[in-house]
Amino acid sequence: MKFTLSWLKDHLETTATAAEVADAMTMAGLEVEHVADPTVALAPFTVARIVSAERHPNADRLQVCQVETVDGMKEIVCGAPNARAGLTTIYAPIGAWVPGLGVTLVEKPVRGVVSNGMLCSASELQLSDESDGIQELPPEIPVGTPVAQLFGAEPVIDFEVTPNRPDWLGVAGIARDLAAAGVGTLKHFDIAVVRGAFPSPITVRIEAPEMCPVFAGRVIRGVKNGPSPAWLQTRLQAIGLRSINRLVDVTNLIAYDRARPLHVYDVAKLVGTEIVVRGGQVSAGADRIAAGTAEQIIALDGRTYAAEPAMCVIADAGGERPIGLGGVMGGVSTGCDEDTVDVFLESAWFDPIVTAQTGRTLTITSDAQYRFARGVDPASVVPGLELATRLILDLCGGEPSEVVLAGQAPADPTPFAFDPAYVKRLSGLQLEDDRIGTILGQLGFHIAAAPAGAAAPWTVTPPSWRRDVEGKADLVEEVARIHGYDHLPDTPLPDQGAPSRGVLNPRQARVRIARRALAAMGYAEAVTWSFTRRDIATMFGGGDERLVVDNPIASDLDCMRPSALPNLIQAAARNAARGHGDVALFEIGPIYLGDGPNDQRTVIAGLISARSTRHWAGTGDDALFTLKADLMTLLEQIGAPVAAMQLAQGQNLDWWHPGRAARLQLGPKTVVAEFGAVHPRVLKALDADGHMLAFEIVLDAVPEPKAKTGATKARGSADLPNLMPLTRDFAFVVEDGRAAGDLVRAVAGVDKALIAEVRVFDVYRGAGVPEGSKSIALEVVVQPREATLTDADIEALSAKVVAAADKLGARLRG
């Protein structure tokens, strides 16, 4: 909303500048967006008088004028055809910035004659859109008069109103707060009652009191409508409103002045003598109208709206013809124009929720809708009507009827008990009771001493325009903001220090370790949307109806993601499309298995786009096994029970390569991670080229290390045997389908005390190994514990290794 400083001064006695007013508004809780001061741009321009105008010696269309200016007589070259001796116009000196031309004037010859300034049109000063020659001003205006003053240009303050303060949607309401904040003195107006000369020929019947509990109106007959006087036009135009005609302008003026919307109907266009306020009607089915069709209204904005039963409709013709959307917009059929003679003036109160929903459903906004949706002062119904009557009589003449009043205004706010000591308790501000009482009083609150024996010493009644104030905390805000948040004390929180065991829970601590570990391993952390496209979600095991966003920001972000991988794959593909094919990304974030509060999981997802880059020393390690190493390192870093995990292949979910992916699990039901190559079909569906390797750990499935009993963090003694470990090599021939991991696990399990490690150092297929088989060479690391092993001991261990391998169908290679 906008207002001008002079408008504010109608309500506030103050010497404050626009900047001071804006500051005070900000500190009272009104968010000032912008203070536009056109007087700054107009400052260089003053009124001047052309004394003589001669034809330019070297140009037919130019004249050389002698001009009486604020700077004395000046010779100015002018191209305007209306430049003539005796004309009073606008003068710009050398050095002035001419906003309409976007130039700063410099002293330079025009066709050989130096022009000592410029004579200006209104459009060159951006005071109008187009101009025909230089400005022609009335001759009585003295030379040197500032142009800003002439055009009523003044600062305009543009601000935002929070939804709790509908009273700030009128300049008078702002003045009240500013007066309380010490910016000036509030001017009080008594709104005089205008005596009606005859009973209103138009009556009002409310059929929907839940939508419109109170409706006041009166007829003013014999008015003369037409263009508004200059002061009213200027006032409205300064804040960006269009002047329409006197009757409509009066309603707009009061809407912005008092936050009191009104409406005017042309009585000649009304059918019947009764205004009916009701809900929208739905056709029961009639000629060419299907049953269930909502009634239609052509509103003043020229659009046609369907009024549903939940909307408030103003109707005439015995309630049959809809002529307006109550509290939102009037209809074209009964609008006032230049020919209006008798006018019916409406001042009503429409329910905020109904008005808000109507606005939303129909995507219709108006100054009235905006105000009613936030809550208009119910006590302003009759005073608003009287104020408008007075203005209409002043501007248009006419004779008013008596007021018709239907329904009853919503009850005034209820009084409640208040202890002024609560101001200090909640805000920390130490204020005298008197000061608290004064502030509340200036804001319109009524304070009474509570009856003896009451819980609090005061009983406070909020004013009718402050329905947002419901309790004692609200009063503290009123006092604190008016006294000034700048005065809040500096009070440190009681020192608790940092908790000695840190503030992160084990899962949060793991996330932090995982993030730093992956970054150290060369993965760049990405943060991607929690959404994906529903068919992609389905491809990754999600896409449940319950996880579909009803109002997505874009059609490809319409479903909560079941995995972080699709977003990473698409990100890698985007990078590849930009020429960066070799990327390693990770994301630690949520996935959504359902819509319940316990259905969210945290995943750690990593992705390598395995675009092999050429290197002089060859291709390097197999990327899939590098990824596996990264994953295992990561799991170890976050304290996962890596030794207890099983690696299962051939059971991965659909989006993994069936032969080049595996899962890590703690038993078949607890899948900790899946990793490997992404299925090419999935890559294709995501428009991703090439090969991509990935892993995804469901962090919630990784058991946390058991909390040690007792407070000790001691680690127990280290296992540092004195005896040298020794190694023995075995080569086994097994059928090709046998997993090396099975053989390693079998061999390692032969003697867990002695066998420290089993390494695979060769896998071979070819000559010497039967078709359909492969040779797996193992290095078994034996760690003697108590004594050096004898040859016999080692023989016995070897025999057990061979026997264990034999159970898997592995035979020692000859």
Q: Which residues are annotated as a binding site for Mg(2+)?
A: 468, 474, 477-478
Number of alpha carbons in the 13 Å side-chain half-sphere of residue 811: 6
Q: Is 317 left (phi over 0), alpha (psi -120 to 50) or beta?
A: left
**Interface with another protein, residue 416, by CB under 8 A:** no
Which residues participate in the annotated binding site?
Answer: 468, 474, 477-478
Give the H or E element holding residue 609.
strand 600-609
In this chain, which of 197, 310, 488, 796 binds another protein, going by CB under 8 A?
A: 488
Q: How far is the CB of 626 from another protein (least distance, A)?
A: 10
Q: To the nearest whole angstrom, how small is the minimum distance from the Cβ of residue 690 to another protein?
A: 15
Instruction: Return the residues of window 584-603 that contact another protein according to CB under 8 A.
Output: 584-586, 588-590, 592, 595-600
Near another protein by CB under 8 A: residue from 72, 302, 453, 499: 499
Look up residue 242 and give its two tokens.
Answer: 């269009």
| Residue 27 found at the interface with another protein (CB under 8 A) | yes
Decide: residue 474, CB within 10 A, 0-12 exposed, 13-18 middle, 19+ buried.
middle
Q: In 43-175, where do the E strands start and end?
A: 46-56, 59-69, 72-78, 88-92, 97-98, 103-104, 108-110, 113-115, 118-120, 156-160
The yes or no reply on residue 712 touching another protein (CB under 8 A) is no
Taking CB under 8 A as the binding criterion, the range among 20-28, 441-449, 783-791, 805-813 that sits at the site for another protein is 20-28
- Comparing CB distances to another protein, the nearer of 233 and 459 is 459
Reading the block at residue 60, the tokens are: 């037919």
Minimum CB separation from another protein for residue 421, in Å? Answer: 12
DSSP calls for 504-528: --HHHHHHHHHHHHHHHTTPEE---
Q: x/- string (CB under 8 A) for another protein, residues 352-371?
A: xx--xx--x-----------
Around Cβ 332, how many Cβ atoms within 10 Å?
17
- Binding-site member from 10, 367, 582, 751 for another protein (CB under 8 A): 582
Q: Is 574 in the site for another protein (CB under 8 A)?
A: yes
- Grouping H, G, I as helix, E, B as strand and the rest as coil, residue 97 is strand
Q: Which of 73, 103, 197, 504 binds another protein (CB under 8 A)?
A: 504
Shortest approach of another protein to residue 671 CB, angstroms? 22
Half-sphere exposure of residue 267, counting CA atoms within 13 Å on the CB side? Answer: 20
Residue from 526, 536, 678, 698 touching another protein (CB under 8 A): that is 526
Nearer to another protein, 120 or 373 (CB): 373
Strands (E), 179-328: 185-186, 203-206, 214-221, 263-266, 274-279, 295-298, 304-307, 312-316, 321-325
Question: Taking CA 658 as the corner, what is the angle to CA 657 and CA 663, rounded to the nearest 5 degrees?
Answer: 85
Provide, rounded to whole angstroms, the least separation between the CB of residue 308 and another protein.
Answer: 15
Selected range binding another protein among 310-318, 612-620, 763-771, 780-788, rule: CB under 8 A = 612-620
Bridge partners (DSSP) listed for residue 205: 276
Q: Which residues pair with 662 in a beta bridge?
A: 649, 675
Residue 357 C-beta: closest distance to another protein, Å: 7
Interface pick for another protein out of 230, 520, 760, 763 (rule CB under 8 A): 520
Touching another protein, residues 296-355 (CB under 8 A): 352-353
Element (H, E) at 25: helix 18-28
Residue by residue, DSSP assigns 630-652 as: HHHHHHHHTT--GGG-EEEES--
Binding region for another protein (CB under 8 A) out of 310-318, 563-571, 662-670, 687-695: 563-571
- 587 membership: H or E segment, kind and range: strand 583-592
Question: Which residue stretch of 102-110, 388-396, 524-532, 727-735 sits at the interface with another protein (rule: CB under 8 A)?
Answer: 524-532
Cα–Cα distance for residue pair 780/759, rounded to 1 Å = 6
What minimum distance in Å lies between the beta carbon of 99 and another protein?
22
Residues 530-559 that bind another protein (CB under 8 A): 530-531, 545-554, 557
Distance CA 109, CA 106 (A): 10
Exactly one of 15, 491, 712, 788 binds another protein (CB under 8 A); that residue is: 491
Given a contact cutoff of 8 angstroms between Cβ atoms, the answer to whether 660 and 649 are in contact is no
The answer to whether 52 and 87 are in contact (CB under 8 A) is no
476 lies in the binding site for another protein (CB under 8 A): yes
Q: Strands (DSSP E) along 273-403, which ranges?
A: 274-279, 295-298, 304-307, 312-316, 321-325, 329-330, 343-349, 399-400
The binding track of 625-644 with respect to another protein, each residue x by CB under 8 A or -, is --------------------
CB of 488 to another protein, least distance (A): 5
SS3 state at 95:
coil
Which residues in 218-257 contact another protein (CB under 8 A)? none
Contacting another protein (CB under 8 A), which of 73, 524, 760, 763? 524
Residue 627 Cβ vs another protein, minimum distance, rounded to whole Å: 12
Among 243, 427, 532, 563, binds another protein (CB under 8 A): 427
d(CA 330, CA 599): 50
Q: x/- string (CB under 8 A) for another protein, residues 436-475?
A: -----------------------------------xxxx-
CB 329, min distance to another protein, A: 18
Q: How far is the CB of 456 from another protein (least distance, A)?
A: 11
293 binds another protein (CB under 8 A): no
Nearer to another protein, 244 or 678 (CB): 678
* Residue positions counted in the chain: 814
Alpha-carbon distance values, 812 to 231, 241, 776, 805 (Å): 108, 96, 10, 8
**Nearest CB to another protein, comparing residues 17 and 52:** 17
Place of tokens 């500190």: 27
**Cα(813)–Cα(796) distance, integer angstroms:** 18
CB of residue 173 vs another protein: minimum separation in angstroms?
15
Find how far residue 446's CA is from the centre of its chain.
Answer: 37
Q: Which of residues 371-400 bind another protein (CB under 8 A)?
A: 373-374
Integer Cα distance of 83 and 75 in angstroms: 13
Q: Which is nearer to another protein, 130 or 621 (CB)?
A: 621
Of residues 87 through 126, those in contact with another protein by CB under 8 A are none
We find the least distance from the C-beta atom of residue 355 to another protein, in angstroms, to be 10
Residue whose tokens read 């059918």: 271
Instruction: Report the site for another protein in 145-184 (rule: CB under 8 A).
Output: 162-165
Q: Which of 574, 587, 591 is nearest to 532 (CA)?
A: 591
Of 20, 301, 525, 742, the one binding another protein by CB under 8 A: 525
Rounded CA gap, 650 and 663, in Å?
9
By CB under 8 A, which span of 48-56, 133-141, 521-529, 661-669 interacts with another protein?
521-529
